[in-house]
Amino acid sequence: MKRPKVSNISQIIFVISPKMPKPNLLVLDKELVYAEFLKIKPVIVINKIDLDAKMTDEIYKLYKSIGYEVIKTNCITGEGIKDVQKLLKNNTSAFARTIWRTENLL
């Protein structure tokens, strides 16, 4: 099945988790660069923050320090969901999840 094309978006939201599945930050970096090349605002949402607080903080600090908007969420407790809702308001957004494991590339 062919993937649908996306057009006229103002931002792309990359959803990652600190664990289960383990994040592949190299793939995320490549996607961030490509979004910037296309002049689409990239945003990182770290979900499942309760699974690994240390990794969550490391990812958050890393990407915030280089200028990316990063939001921490927990869908079970609702933490960060209002921030995502604000982010979506008055924007045309696409959500993306990176390929986390090399076996998914096959």
Number of domains making up the chain: 1
The CATH number assigned to the domain holding 72 equals: 3.40.50.300
pLDDT tens-digit series, residues 32-46: 999 999 999 999 999
Within a domain: residue 2? no
Q: Judge whether residue 104 has pLDDT over 60.
A: no
Within a domain: residue 26? yes
Within a domain: residue 106? no
Within a domain: residue 56? yes
Within a domain: residue 5? no
Within a domain: residue 21? yes
- Buried/exposed code over 2-12 (b: 16+ C-beta within 10 A; e: otherwise): eeeeeeeeebb
Lowest mean pLDDT among 24-33, 36-45, 97-106: 97-106
- Buried/exposed code over 57-71 (b: 16+ C-beta within 10 A; e: otherwise): eebbeebeeeebebb
Give me the domain span that covers residue 92.
11-100
The pTM (predicted TM-score) of the whole model is 0.85
pLDDT tens-digit series, residues 57-88: 999 999 999 999 999 999 899 999 999 999 99
Within a domain: residue 1? no
